[in-house]
Amino acid sequence: MRRIELEIVALSHSMTQSHNYAVVLGEKKGKRRLPIVIGSFEAQAIAVALEQMTPNRPLTHDLFKSALDVFEITLKEVIINNLMDGIFYARLVCIKNGELFEIDSRTSDAIAMAVRFECPIYTYDFILEAAGVVLEDQEGGISQIPVIADLDDDLLESWPMEALQTRLQEVLEAEDYEMAAKLRDELKRREAKD
């Protein structure tokens, strides 16, 4: 089986399921995209790491990374190794003292860990053949999908102030006024507390 390296090309609300998100992985050397529906907490964990935010309290994935670091275990890579009945399966490939260990994982958790360890994400050709898509724009080229870390209102309260202010500037520049209003409201709510 041929292994294919992937990278995160988008993180956004799922178009098909209301309280879910989609993380879209793309081939590093290809045109196919692999959309994976994930929950809001996993989306938050991925977005926090992508945006290099530091929450007031460590998220579960941060705690797990810290534990691995303390025990000198490195996450070498993540492999999305199977697709059965529409469910993706993944493995964390870890190294301790030169010995490899594989740990079964939900795909969303594996991606959240890969972002934290800055390690590669791989899948196999048969998975991209079964679930991959090629996104094209009007001119026939591949569309570029921005990484979007717009999370539900209730998740904004876990963002640090600096991250909220930075994100507010970004969404204003992108003219995403709906998200800007949510961020502004969260900032005002915190200022009222002080």
Over residues 107-125, the pLDDT tens digits come to 999 999 999 999 999 999 9
Would the CA dihedral through 42, 45, 47, 49 be positive or negative? Answer: negative
**CATH domain 3-151 topology:** Bifunctional nuclease domain (3.10.690)
pLDDT band at 192; cut points 50, 70, 90:
confident
Res. 140: pLDDT tops 60: no
Res. 91: pLDDT tops 90: yes
Does the pTM surpass 0.85? The reply is no
Hey, where are the domains in the chain? 3-151, 160-194
**What is the torsion angle, in degrees rounded to the nearest 10, for the CA atoms of residue 67, residue 106, residue 12 and residue 189?**
-50
Over residues 94-109, the pLDDT tens digits come to 999 999 999 999 999 9
List % helix, strand, coil for the chain (3-state, nearest 5): 40, 35, 30
Over residues 16-26, the pLDDT tens digits come to 455 678 888 99
